[in-house]
Chain A
Amino acid sequence: ADTIRIGLLAPLTGYAAADGLAVLQSVKLAVDQVNAKGGVLGKQIELFYEDDAGEAKEAIGLARKLVQMDKVVAVVGGSYSMPTRAVAPLFQEFEIPLVAGYAVHPDITAAGDFCFRNGFLGTVEGRGAGVAAVDMLKAKTVGMLTMDNDFGRQMAEGFKSYVVSKGAKVVYSQVYPLGEKDLMPYLTAVKEADPDVILASGYYAEAAGIVKQAHEIKLRTQIIGEEGYDSPKFIELAGPEAANGTIIVTNLDRDDERPVAQAYIKEYRERYGMEPDMTGASNYDAFLIIVDGIRRAGTTDPHKVKDAIAALKDFDGVTGVIKGFTEIGEVIKPVQVQIVKDGVFRRYGIVDDPEVIDPRK
């Protein structure tokens, strides 16, 4: 073929459509940037994207379509855990490299050596949040208000194990269902328990609800959020006043001076007229990791590309300097701690303690 075909699965409709859009826009940006510089191995890249609506049963058919009909050589997994987890074994079987952007389920990389992840495991991000809580904020008592899904639960686990190991006490722990808008009953209870910090997970909608309603009932507890908060929408919906001072752990650092990060942020803004977020950035990187793999392999042969990706070292990504992948394909990169100041995310700190960020721990 005269182009190199790369696939993308993303939730362009359905409950996660907003994330799907950020993913698609970012990857398209990356494709154009690469092609503008002459492509890779002298060929242009052609993107084949499909909408899995965030559902496993949709994704499995589409994975086959990408491989068997579109003949892609590698795939960016730009969707959530459930669909990505469903397709990982298929790509393994087809021997097509898959780099998941932000899906968090452990089984994805466990499917085999063709499956990689450029996002944090929940436990890693949870430990990162733990560092922010006890090491940066010096919390003695903590609370947890956890979103009820795989990510929320794993994160809570990582967080809890870290803070407890550092001697902090968990005084409130509650799981809430996804999509919950009325968080008052929980927050009122948090107010009663009065921990120093609370880890409150959620996607931007729940996050905005938590932060806004906490502001309304004048909750004093410092809120630590996670990558789900990492969206300009969060600040917009919560209102800058309520959002101010919220700390989150994520993988995009807006104050990162490295040109690659600044260029992405600038071009994204210009091209789409909106703020980039972590989901887009992470998949942008996932795509570039594949391109980099092809370039270093010097071929599109999936086995060689896979080996090249596995051998990645100190890759200069938008989401930080990626140290590489573990033998099972989990990314090793620093956790970014950000704080909302004057209505925008700013750097608060970086967690790069190998003990914390190594997914094998």
Chain B
Amino acid sequence: MGGYFSTVAIMIGIYALVASGLNIIVGFAGQISLGHAAFFGIGAYSTALLCTKAGLSFWWSLPLATLITGMIGALLGIPSLRVRDDFLAITTIGINFIVRSIFLYVPFFGGALGIGGIPTPILFATKLRGQYYLALVAVLLALVTWFTFLFVRTWTGLATEAIREEETAAGAMGISHVRFKILAFTIGSAMAGLGGVLYAHFVNFISPDDFGFPVSIMLLSMAVLGGMGSIWGPILGAIVLGSLPELFRPLVQYRMFLYGAALLLVIRFQPQGILGEGSVLSRLVSRRRQ
């Protein structure tokens, strides 16, 4: 497997991880977020600062940056308590823009120059590159997926879903929308933060534009395309949307157009995602089961 392929695979893995976090917020808690790249960025910047300025090693920084992002996610989830639905969607766009502006304008974050020299992780005296890094990403993705799997089966998951369906009725069932919405934001953001850490140590340098609004859009597209609210959805979405542009690469000039058109066609004809209810794939699977 060439380095090019492992690069693409690593990016897909990272996006799958981040999109899984988004799936918790949007798919399970029903809080539309169009600013998920902000948390991706916060994770990346946290680890970049922890490693380059505070001199932490990757292995310390990984959990710490994830935690920090989760906490900031809790904070930035507060607007979801006040505004809903499309208002929230747009508020989260705003959050994305503001966070990116802060990276860009506050010198501490390296401004437009970004932060460079983010170390490649070392395990047993080997630098984790290429396939090794891919293995690391795969292990973490598996962990996160397993976590999601459990999450939706707990009372917490049930309560979160109830809020998504009917907030007032959920309140009458004893469910605090504050607690569970913030919790969803915290978990979802922490996953994005974890993805950000992996991204930063893979690319070795980061700049504000890596976490702009278009990235949020791509993440949401991945989650929706795969099948929002299904655990494998974001992973599948990341694989499809992560590899499509690579497939179209020989068509240089037409590549992004084809990408857009392909995304449009899939969402138009499989609106519930490739794995969602009533999709071709899920029908095939259920037919086989019968």
Q: Which residues of A contact B (CB under 8 A)?
A: 12-14, 50-51, 53, 55-57, 60-62, 64-65, 67-69, 82, 85-86, 89, 105, 107, 148-150, 153
Report whether A64 and B2 are in contact in the complex, using a CB–CB cutoff of 8 Å. yes
Q: Is B114 an interface residue (CB 8 A)?
A: yes
Stretch at the interface among B78-86, B135-143, B249-257: B249-257
**Residue contacts A-B, CB under 8 angstroms, 22 given:** A12-B252, A12-B253, A13-B255, A51-B255, A56-B203, A56-B205, A57-B199, A57-B203, A60-B7, A61-B8, A61-B246, A64-B2, A67-B3, A68-B2, A68-B3, A68-B4, A86-B205, A89-B204, A148-B104, A149-B112, A150-B113, A153-B111
A55 to B209, CA, bound (A): 8
Contact residues in B for A69 (Cβ distance below 8 Å): 2, 4
Top 7 nearest A-B pairs (CB, nearest first) are A64-B3, A61-B7, A65-B4, A64-B4, A149-B112, A150-B113, A150-B112
Whether B207 is near chain A, meaning CB under 8 Å from some CB there, is yes
Most chain A CB within 10 A, of B7, B112, B116, B256, is at B112
Other 10 A-B pairs with CB < 8 A, given A55-B210, A67-B3: A13-B252, A13-B255, A14-B256, A51-B252, A65-B4, A68-B4, A86-B203, A105-B113, A150-B113, A153-B111
Give the docked Cα–Cα distance between A161 and B240 (Å): 51
- Minimum CB distance partner of B206 in chain A: A56
For A13, give its contact among B11, B114, B210, B256 (CB under 8 Å): B256
A82 x B4 contact (CB < 8 A): no
A19 to chain B, nearest CB (A): 15
Q: List B contacts of A56 (CB < 8 A).
A: 203, 205, 207, 210
Q: Do residues A82 and B203 form an inter-chain contact, with CB atoms below 8 A?
A: no
Q: Which of A50, A61, A85, A148 has the largest count of B CB atoms less than 10 A from its CB?
A: A61
**B-side contacts of A107, CB under 8 Å:** 116, 205
The contact size tier of chain B is 20 to 34
The residues in B between 192 and 210 inclusive whose CB is less than 8 angstroms from any CB of A are 199, 203-205, 207, 209-210
Q: Mark B150-191, 1 if CB is under 8 A from A, else 0.
A: 000000000000000000000000000000000000000000
Please name all residues of chain B whose beta carbon is closer than 8 Å to the beta carbon of A82 when the two chains form the complex.
Answer: 114, 207, 209
Task: Determine the main DSSP class of A at the interface with B.
Answer: helix
Residues of B within 8 A of A89 (CB): 204
Interface of B, secondary structure class, is: helix
Provide the bound-state CA to CA distance between A56 and B207, in Å. Answer: 9
Separation of A69 and B8 alpha carbons in the complex (Å): 14
Residues of the A chain whose Cβ atoms lie less than 8 Å from the Cβ of B104 = 148
Q: Looking at the assembled complex, report how far the CB atom of B173 sits from the nearest CB atom of chain A, in whole angstroms.
A: 44
Chain A: minimal CB distance from B247 (Å) = 13
Q: Which residue in chain B gives the minimum CB-CB distance to A62?
A: B4
**A9 to B: closest C-beta gap in Å:** 12
CA distance A107 to B116 in the complex (A): 8
Contact with A along B37-59 (1 / 0, CB 8 A): 00000000000000000000000
Structural contact, A148 and B205, CB atoms closer than 8 A: no
Tell me the bound Cα distance from A64 to B246 in angstroms: 13
Q: How far is the CA of A148 from the CA of B112 in the complex (A)?
A: 8
Q: Which residues on A sit within 8 Å (CB–CB) of B199? A: 57
A17 closest partner in B (C-beta): B253
Contact residues in A for B253 (Cβ distance below 8 Å): 12-13
Q: How far is the CA of A219 from the CA of B203 in the complex (A)?
A: 45
Min CB–CB distance B194 → chain A (angstroms): 17
Contact A61 B209 (CB under 8 A): no
Interface hub of A57, A60, A64 (most chain B Cβ within 10 A): A57
Chain A residues closer than 8 Å to B246, beta-carbon distance: 61
Q: How far is the CA of A85 from the CA of B209 in the complex (A)?
A: 14
Shortest distance from the beta carbon of A347 to any chain B beta carbon, whole Å: 32
Q: What A residues does B112 contact at CB under 8 A? A: 148-150, 153
Query: A68 CA to B207 CA in the complex, in Å?
Result: 26
Considering the chains assembled together, what is the distance between the CA atoms of A55 and B104 in angstroms? Answer: 16
* A142 CA to B204 CA, complexed, in Å: 39
Please measure, in the bound complex, the distance between the C-alpha atom of A13 and the C-alpha atom of B251, giving whole angstroms. 11
Which residues of chain B are within 8 angstroms of A68 by Cβ–Cβ distance? 2-4
Contacts of B1-30 to chain A: CB distance below 8 A: 2-4, 7-8, 11
Complex: A55 Cα to B203 Cα, angstroms: 12
Q: What B residues does A148 contact at CB under 8 A? A: 104, 112
- For B204, list chain A residues within 8 Å (CB): 86, 89
Instruction: Kindly list chain B residues whose C-beta atoms are within 8 Å of the C-beta of A12.
Output: 252-253
CA distance A12 to B116 in the complex (A): 25
A85 CB, nearest partner CB in chain B, Å: 6
Cβ–Cβ < 8 Å partners of A55 in chain B: 209-210
B116–A85 CB distance below 8 A: yes
Most buried by A among B4, B11, B209: B4
